[in-house]
Amino acid sequence: QVLAREGAALAAGGVWVPGLAPPILLPVDAELVRPWVRGPTELVRANDIVVELPVSLTNPKVARRVALRGVDANLLAGRALAVTGPSGAGKSTLVSVLAGLLKPTSGAVRSHPSLGTARGTQPWRWRSRDLAARLSWVPQTPEHGVATSSVLDEVLAAARACDRDPGGAERRAEGLLAALSLAHLSAASPYHLSGGEQRRLMVAAALAHGPYGVLADEPTVGQDRRTWAAVLGALGAARDAGCAVGLSTHDSAAVAALADETLSLAGGRVAR
């Protein structure tokens, strides 16, 4: 009875109310999220990827498990790829490979030749600065991505490392903080934020410097209706402005709202 009577008011306040449709995505200014420089259509292609991970962190040579086997995927400018599947299916592993954070055991992962560096076109070989300028990352555990002592500095960190124009970077950073309901926390320590706020901070930090692509691991976790709409609104605006977006997620509503392609995994393989 309470939900029937007060459901609309609760939803307006950000509460997830059973039976109500997800909110409309927040419109976000394209100038805040577009790639700094226009890039190629196909950013990264992964073919026949196999990833074996150690079962034990203390003795990684003893046993290994296959996290991915024979998986193909690619990142395209102006498109959003959602990687779905049950826990342990390999979603986080695949987006980590596409983001250049994890070297595959076998298979090929290469960027478009125009994005290559002196170290070649394999993203996992690139220097941190070169990787950040091309592909950004929203970690599933957001505090693992914190590198500075204030929220605003965190959003500007990659822009500074990539030598972006300071004025333009600051306008983007401040606009993203406002869109993601973090502007009032700009001077705060990232470690003093809630888990949901930290995740939104990582989204802002991943977009402010204008990479060609952004990979996000479970970006909607810990959000209420309003901030969920803001997170997906920012990622959707980036996609519409020409950025490639890849996300791993259990959130079927996020997939429906954002994804242009869906890759479903089960047991490290593409589900048929």
Per-residue pLDDT tens for 152-191? 999 999 999 999 999 999 999 999 999 999 999 999 999 9
Asked whether residue 168 is assigned to any structural domain, the reply reads yes
Domain-embedded: residue 9: no
Please give the single-letter amino acid code of residue 129. R
Q: Using H for helix, E for strand and C for coil, what is the string for 1-59?
A: CHHHHHHHHHHHCCCCCCCCCCCCCCCCCHHHCCCCCCCCCEEEEEEEEEEEEECCCCC
Q: Per-residue pLDDT for 134 more than 70?
A: yes
Query: What's the whole-number average pLDDT of the chain?
Result: 95
How do residues 30-71 score in pLDDT, each as one tens digit?
999 999 999 999 999 999 999 999 887 677 666 788 999 999
The answer to the question of residue 250 being in a domain is: yes
pLDDT at 19: 87
- Predicted local confidence at residue 106, as pLDDT: 97
In a domain, 169, yes or no: yes
Q: How many domains does the chain have?
A: 1
Our CA angle for 252, 109, 45, nearest 5°, is 55
Domain hosting 227: range is 29-270
pLDDT tens string 203-229: 999 999 999 999 999 999 999 999 999
pLDDT reported for residue 1: 67
Question: Stretch 222-250: mean pLDDT, rounded?
Answer: 98
266 within domain boundaries? yes
13 belongs to a structural domain: no
CATH of the domain at 83: 3.40.50.300
- Strand pairing category for 135-138 and 213-217: parallel
Give the model confidence (pLDDT) of 75-89 as tens digits: 999 999 999 999 999
Name the more confident of 8 and 100.
Answer: 100
Any domain includes 260: yes
Give 53's contacts (C-beta < 8 A, 6+ positions apart).
64, 65, 67, 93
> What letter would DSSP give residue 113?
G
Convert the pLDDT of each residue in 62-79 to its tens digit. 678 899 999 999 999 999
91 located within any domain: yes
235-239 average pLDDT score: 99
